[in-house]
Amino acid sequence: MTIKNTMARLENDFYLHDDVVALSRALIGKMLFTQIDGAITGGYIIETEAYRGPEDRASHAFNNRRTKRTEVMFQRGGLCYVYKCYGIHNLLNIVTNVENIPHAILIRGILPKVGKETIMKRRLFKDKIIGPGNVAKGLSIDMTFNFESLFGEKIWIEESADILQGEIFATPRIGIDYAKEDALLPWRFELR
DNA sequence: GAGTAGATCGGCT
DNA sequence: GCCGATCTACTCG
């Protein structure tokens, strides 16, 4: 008999996989949690985007650009990469692949499941939270989450116990027109 | 509805 | 000094 383990975190191996695009798809339906001052909030991941380091013009780490900001992407998979966009929004990425390969997955949407009340208080959300800036706001993710491990007490990802209804669609990524031909790659995954 | 301005800050060149 | 892997509010029809 199978026991539903609510603490079934993804193992480190999961994040070390070489194919960040496949991983982005695999993350759909998994559960993302944060714990702030003892308050746990979390939900199903319903939208992601893959950023494939050196070869991807849309990635901050394109051409292996390694700076203070992108440094975390070069770390071993299983860390958070959080950065500020337009001065207002914090965007959460999951670092993947082995050390020195700067792959990352942007979390663009979640379906709140745990601590909905808290999430609602942080912002007026409907059932779904769409948009990377909103995801960060709903889960109270800020720049201090940069470099944070997914195996600590602050933020983590679990295997989901439920199967979500819907179908996964692959479409081009958002807001990266500057990335030329790479802007057309269908590396955005969305559960509908 | 659809289109646009404004917010506001860390990391580049 | 500039601009972004964005969001909201407010305009104008």
Contacts of residues A115-118 at CB distance under 8 Å and 24 or more positions apart, as own/partner, are: A115/A39, A115/A40, A115/A41, A115/A42, A116/A41, A118/A39, A118/A41
Q: Say yes or no to pLDDT of A58 above 50.
A: yes
From the CA of A111, how many Å to the C1' of C10? 28
List, for residues A104-163, the tens digit of each pLDDT value: 999 999 999 999 999 998 886 778 999 999 999 999 999 999 999 999 999 999 998 777
Nucleotide minimizing C1' to CA distance for residue A71: B11
How many residues in chain A?
192
Give the 3-state secondary structure of residue A171: strand
Residue owning tokens 């695999």: A26
CB A182, CB A58: distance < 8 Å: yes
User: How would residue A164 be classed by pLDDT, with cut points 50, 70 and 90?
Assistant: confident
- pTM for the full model? 0.93
Q: Å between A99 CA and C3 C1'?
A: 30
In the prediction, which pLDDT does A1 show? Answer: 44
Q: What is the pLDDT of residue A6?
A: 55
Cβ of A143 near strand B (under 7 Å)? The reply is: yes
Q: Residue A1 burial (CB < 10 Å; 0-12/13-18/19+)?
A: exposed
Please state, as a whole number, how many other Cβ atoms lie within 10 Å of the Cβ of residue A155.
Answer: 23
Residues 6+ away with beta carbon under 8 Å from A175: none
**Residue A191: what are its φ and ψ, rounded to 5°?**
-95, 125
For residue A88, which nucleotide's C1' is closest to its Cα?
B8
Classify residue A128 by its DSSP letter.
Answer: -
Query: CA A88 – C1' C11 distance (Å)?
Result: 23
